[in-house]
Amino acid sequence: MAFQSVPETVEITVNYTYGGNQIVNTYHARQSGGYNQAGIDALAVAIDNTAVPGLLADQTVWIDYMRTDVRGLENENDITASASASAASGGLGVVGTPGNVSFAVQRLSGLTGRSARGRVYVAGIPASYVDGSKAAVGKLESAAAAAYVGHIDGFRTVIDAVGTWDPVIVSRYNEGSKRATGVTFPWTSTQYSSLRLATMRKRLD
């Protein structure tokens, strides 16, 4: 696919392995006036040290956090940074749900339209966090859902606290057509729309 610039913006990739498969969660940050190596180094360290451990504490020991990568999106050949000081397994020594099961958390900008919102799919969910009632088959317990929303929102607040970075949502397409350059919307709040767990067949061996 042809390169598409997203000005002043970096991609943050949080890397895990679960059941032998690679799992990634992706976030974005923008720095008005442009970014530099020191800035993305600081961002990678902050995510690794502060945001990741909170979420990992509510994930099964079956999931392994590997590292956080940050790369610039403005230029085709851009700067990168990585941090892995917090590499560890999930903090809960309990059975996990299958590798294709995740919980969808919404990242919102306060604006309408699909381009102005995003999702993060949380994997490594403990089986004990799944609602055990007959009427709620395939749903997450509400307390666990609230905890995951808080953890994902923690990534937003950590990004916002590092230098002059702003947490954003990136849109590369508009009504099915690829934009000339990617645009960003401010990530202002985080929530879930449903307790139902999402599945992805290709994550199963």
**Model confidence pLDDT, tens digit, residues 130-171:** 998 887 888 999 999 999 999 999 999 999 999 999 999 999
Per the CB < 8 A criterion, the answer to whether 174 and 131 are in contact is: no
The whole-model pTM stands at 0.94
How far from 42 is each of 13, 46, 96, 158, CA to CA, in Å?
A: 14, 6, 32, 11
Query: Residue 49, CB half-sphere, CA atoms under 13 Å: how many?
Result: 9
Q: How many CB atoms lie within 10 A of CB 201?
A: 6
Per the CB < 8 A criterion, the answer to whether 40 and 148 are in contact is: no
How far from 177 is each of 4, 28, 180, CA to CA, in Å?
A: 13, 21, 9
Given phi > 0 = left and psi -120 to 50 = alpha, else beta, which region is 142? alpha
- pLDDT for 54-65, tens place per residue? 999 999 999 999
What's the pLDDT at 134? 80
What's the pLDDT at 49? 98
- State the DSSP H helix or E strand holding residue 158, giving kind and residue range, or none if neither: helix 142-161
Q: How many CB atoms lie within 10 A of CB 125?
A: 25
